[in-house]
Amino acid sequence: MEPFNFNELPEVVRRLFEKVEQMENLLLNLQPKDESENELLDISEAAKFLKVSVASLYTKVSRKEIPVNKPGKRLYFNRKELQEWIRSGKKKTRSEISAINNLPNRLSPNNRHRLDKY
């Protein structure tokens, strides 16, 4: 910043204020939008989000296969938890299984075939 005299002080303060406002706006735009991730869904919204029928979703709930909140009689699903649940069901590729099988002998040769099921 260049040196300034007392008479220029109001203009310098105005420019500094504008720059601070610009930085504040940039920072606000960088913050993640947590509202949609933590959104609670009812049974029909969750079924639509997962692209399954409501009946299938009830089945998954009764088998305790899916994360759910049940305050009282209603079921609610957290969108973020559903996304994590979907990711947790990822099947390993052949190359991932091969990499696991090529690890140092931590498993006995008799147990090694069990990794192929992933």
Residue 31 has a pLDDT of 63
Q: Is the pTM of this model over 0.85?
A: no
Domain 36-88 has CATH 3.40.190: no
Residue 68 has a pLDDT of 92
Could you tell me if residue 16 is left (phi over 0), alpha (psi between -120 and 50 degrees) or otherwise beta? alpha
pLDDT beneath 50: ranges in the chain: none
CA distance 68 to 100: 33
Query: Token digits for 69?
Result: 């909140």
Distances (CA, A) of 37 to 7, 33, 67, 78, 79: 51, 7, 15, 8, 6
Domain ranges of the chain: 6-31, 36-88
CA distance 58 to 70: 12
Within 8 A by CB and 6+ apart from 101, the residues are 112, 115, 116
**DSSP single-letter state for residue 115:** G
